Amino acid sequence: MAKNKTSNWALLIAAPFVLGPVALMVFVENDRQTAEKEQLLSYRETFQHAVVKEIEIPDVSEGQAELTRNLYVIFDGSASMREPMGNHCSSDQNFSNKHRGAQWAVEEFVKGVPEGVNLGLYVFDAAGSFERLPLQPDREAFMEQIRAVDPGHGTPLAQAIRTGTNALVAQYRKQLGYGEFRLVIVTDGEAEELDSAALYATSLGMPLYTIGLCVAPNHVLREFSVSYRAADDFESLKAGLADSLAELPDFDDVSF
């Protein structure tokens, strides 16, 4: 009997030392989640109050008024795209890794893009981070570049957003402000300075359509995109890409 009492006292004495670290971990996790929520609310408020600047067209004689639609795609070819579906994804036996599934989804997406729509492409992969194809209507040329992506290196997504925005602004000037302009982002990760890059696009009136593949639901671009889809499988990625075509009318381009 004395032995049992001794054991009970030992448990009572040890309890604060055992529960203390656990309680601390819970507190830290709650504090982190609160900070993330506050940051996202800050991003949302910034996006909602962003002032859209008027894009100046210096010389109208150098452009032509036309209703051409423009989709500039940013395709994530970072090293993490070589990985199989992770914690935030459903398993998919049809593709060996995220990259292969994303390639398939983009190819399916391109099949649904109406004729006459310009497609531009920026990729960051093992070959570097740069524009692979300027805005143009050639579907096969676009897909050749997608098929050539070789995953590697990091995720310079902010740089890609700024470059894509500048390409759309240049096209906006060529078309004298007519037509449609959208930035479509396919990514599986986070990056630094995403908020300032997204705000740069927003301030110039270039809407973001983002598909986050296998990422946490609180991705920064969720708050800066007119359309955001957290894709946990490749069918969802395909559907997210299709969302970027929503309300994109299928009509013949008209020049003025």
The residue with tokens 């500039």 is 72
Integer Cα distance of 192 and 177 in angstroms: 31
Reported as a single tens digit per residue, the pLDDT across 14-49 is 555 555 565 545 545 455 445 455 555 555 565 555
Class of domain 60-243: alpha beta
User: Domain-by-domain residue ranges, the chain?
Assistant: 1-49, 60-243
Which position has the higher pLDDT, 177 or 21? 177
Q: What angle do CA 36, 41, 47 make, to 5 degrees?
A: 125
Integer Cα distance of 173 and 56 in angstroms: 8
Which position has the higher pLDDT, 191 or 119? 119
Reported as a single tens digit per residue, the pLDDT across 62-85 is 899 999 999 999 999 999 999 987
| Average pLDDT score, the chain | 83
Q: What was the pLDDT predicted at 254?
A: 43
Q: What was the pLDDT predicted at 10?
A: 56
Which position has the higher pLDDT, 53 or 241? 241
